[in-house]
Structure 1
């Protein structure tokens, strides 16, 4: 995790910047940035990208550019970078869930895994707080399904599905995501 390489002050600044962005204090993509994204995604995936918050769009573009800065040119990997967090879009993952996930992973990982049920297993009685927490936990899987439906390749979908695995097939995506 990125925080292992940071001082306490740097971690606080990093997390506060994330809060600021998620509260909406982030500019929309410029026309030039939108053209970059559109060039890297299948046309059918552009509307899916637009479902993400401004903060998640900016984050995804930073991840994509971070991969390019490391010499990555694989179109599947770059498309996956742009949609790796799309499972959080459309209000599935409200702001409050993000710090809960970060803190839960550190302080109560077993409880978090217990509470985060697979979205396919939701019932009409699943409380909204548990749905939000579950979408946050399972966003990679949800995003992979959405990306598949939007026409991304099997490889790109696989990268999205595994982007939280430090030693998985999307290891480079994971590394850049952790610092972006």
Structure 2
């Protein structure tokens, strides 16, 4: 979501995202496509995400491809933007995060555990990607994917695709 959207809009978006992810299906062809783009080490990180997050990242990737995007680094970032969540984020963390974001956003700065992973997943994901040698532009897009755009066209495209999935 962009910073211009209010807490209620964000909660509605996250609720819709949640409902569509209850039974994620991952096709072999799209996983092969992701592997070809990412290469072995980055694909391994991609596969370390929960099925729900993999489905979401594939949806963001497909949204960009359908919009005519051929920017390899942006497409890689689409597939990896939620890699910092890992598998430790549980369903109740996601629900609590959405509710706290809407009702008590200041409280999020003081939480730990799975809620902290959701809050900090951009930074965590960027660190993971840097460690395995991801292109610097991919690392930065992942790090900043929930921050204000401030004139960054690539980041704006990633956020628009993320917001629509």
TM-score for both structures, normalised by structure 2: 0.84
- Structure 1 residues 2-48: Cα deviation after superposition (integer angstroms, max 9, x where no partner): 8x6xxx9xx48x72561462x5x222x22211111012113211111
Counterparts in 2 of 1:17 and 1:84: CA distance versus 1, 3 Å: closer
| Alignment partner of 1:151 is 2:148 | no
Question: Between Structure 1 and Structure 2, how many residues are aligned?
Answer: 156
Counterparts in 2 of 1:96 and 1:69: CA distance versus 1, 3 Å: same
| Alignment partner of 1:75 is 2:60 | no
- 1:115-130 equivalences under 5 Å are 115-116=110-111, 130=112
TM-score for both structures, normalised by structure 1: 0.77
Find the partner of 1:171 among 125, 140, 156. Answer: 156
Larger Rg over CA atoms? 1
CA distance in 2, matches of 1:74, 1:54: 25
- 1:9-158 equivalences under 5 Å are 11=12, 15=15, 18-19=18-19, 21=21, 23=22, 25-27=23-25, 29-91=26-88, 93-113=89-109, 115-116=110-111, 130-158=112-140
5+ residue gaps, structure 1, are 117-129
CA distance in 1, matches of 2:137, 2:70: 14
- Between 60-69 and 154-163, report the one with greater CA deviation: 60-69
Please report the RMSD computed on the Cα atoms of aligned residues, expressed in angstroms.
2.3
